[in-house]
Structure 1
Amino acid sequence: GGVVPEIAARSHLSHLDKLVTAAMTSAGINYNDIAGVAATGGPGLIGGILVG
């Protein structure tokens, strides 16, 4: 049982664009409204952040 990091990373990659678009639509913003993006490096598995 558990999460297979490679499969999870591939799934994240295939859904990321739709998720970001839905979140931005819900927030009423577009890409021009974004001044920066931040990410964390841990703790956790690296596969989840390799996508972005």
Structure 2
Amino acid sequence: MPNEPAPQRREESLELSVEELFCRARPLPPHDEMVIDDLTQEEGEAFLAAIRR
């Protein structure tokens, strides 16, 4: 059974431009809403270890 090459199609890149990425980005919430201030020392270290992986 002969293998025929797939038809060549010109496809646009799936990568977005920097400008498009900035247009789609959402602003971050205020700093006070993102701070986790009720963690114990051990919980804080475990959180940092988890996000550094």
TM (norm. structure 1) is: 0.29
Q: Which has the higher helix share?
A: 1
Query: Larger Cα Rg: Structure 1 or Structure 2?
Result: 2
* Relative contact order, higher structure (CA 8 A, sep 6+): 1
| TM value normalised by structure 2 | 0.28
